[in-house]
C-alpha cells in the first residue's frame, strides 16, 4: 500500500487523516490537506485548514511488518477521546521506528495531545506543532531538532506528552 486517506466524523469534528507513504507525509487535517513531504516551519501554506503535525517527517509503513496507523474512540460521553496511533519507520531506514499518538478529547475543544513512545531520531528531521491555517496562527514545539526522547519498543508509557491549547496559543509538556 502506498498511502491512505481516510475520514472519520466525531462530535468534536470531521477529521481527515493523510498518510501518503510514497513521500512520508503523516498529518491530521480538519480541512484543506496536502501531501507535502518537505516539512517546514509553521504555519505551512501547504495546508489551508487546521492541522495537527504530530511528527511531520518522512515516515513509511514497510510491507511485511506490524507497522500501521490506527484510530478509534475511547471513553464514554461526554469524555470520549479520538485517538490516532502511528506505528511507522523512517522512509530511509526500515529499522528507525516511530510510535506516537495524536489525541483529541471531546470535552476539551481546540486542545490536542501528542504522546510519544518511540522516536528513533528524537525528531531531528521533523516538525511538531499545530496550525489554524496556512497563513494563520500556529504553535510550534520543534522544527528539525532533537527534542523528543528516543524511547524504545518496550515503552508502555509516553516518554513525552505535549498538549497544545489553541484557545490560549500555548503548549505544555511532561515526561
Residues ≥6 apart with Cβ < 8 Å to 98: 55, 57, 59, 86, 87, 88, 89, 90, 118, 119, 120
State the Cα–Cα distance between residues 134 and 83, nearest whole angstrom: 24
Locate 123 and state its grid cell.
525528531
Residues ≥6 apart with Cβ < 8 Å to 163: 111, 112, 113, 114, 171, 172, 173
> What number is the average pLDDT over the span 27-39?
69
What is the domain partition of the chain in residue ranges? 4-174
- Looking at the predicted structure, is the pLDDT value of residue 16 above 70? no
- Looking at the predicted structure, is the pLDDT value of residue 6 above 70? no
Dihedral of CA atoms 97, 18, 75, 155 in degrees, nearest 10, equals 10
- The predicted structure's pLDDT at residue 28: 73
**Beta bridge mates, 104:** 82, 112
- The predicted structure's pLDDT at residue 43: 95
- The predicted structure's pLDDT at residue 7: 44
Locate 97 and state its grid cell.
521506528
- Looking at the predicted structure, is the pLDDT value of residue 172 above 50? yes
Per-residue pLDDT of 115-168, as tens digits, reads 999 999 999 999 999 999 889 999 999 999 999 999 998 889 999 999 999 999
Amino acid at each position: 500500500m502506498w498511502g491512505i486517506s481516510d475520514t472519520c466524523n466525531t462530535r468534536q469534528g470531521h477529521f481527515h487523516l493523510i498518510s501518503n507513504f510514497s513521500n512520508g507525509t503523516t498529518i491530521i487535517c480538519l480541512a484543506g490537506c496536502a501531501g507535502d513531504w518537505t516539512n517546514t516551519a509553521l504555519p505551512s501554506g501547504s495546508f489551508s485548514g487546521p492541522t495537527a503535525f504530530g511528527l511531520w517527517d518522512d515516515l513509511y509503513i514497510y510491507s511485511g511488518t506490524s507497522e500501521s496507523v490506527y484510530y478509534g474512540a475511547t471513553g464514554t460521553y461526554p469524555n470520549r477521546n479520538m485517538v490516532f496511533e502511528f506505528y511507522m519507520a523512517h522512509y530511509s531506514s526500515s529499522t528507525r521506528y516511530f510510535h506516537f499518538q495524536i489525541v483529541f478529547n471531546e470535552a476539551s475543544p481546540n486542545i490536542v495531545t501528542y504522546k510519544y513512545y518511540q522516536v528513533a531520531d528524537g525528531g531531528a528531521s521533523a516538525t511538531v506543532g499545530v496550525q489554524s491555517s496556512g497563513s494563520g496562527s500556529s504553535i510550534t514545539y520543534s522544527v528539525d531538532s532533537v527534542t523528543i526522547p528516543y524511547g524504545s519498543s518496550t515503552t508502555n508509557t509516553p516518554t513525552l506528552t505535549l498538549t497544545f491549547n489553541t484557545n490560549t496559543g500555548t503548549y505544555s509538556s511532561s515526561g
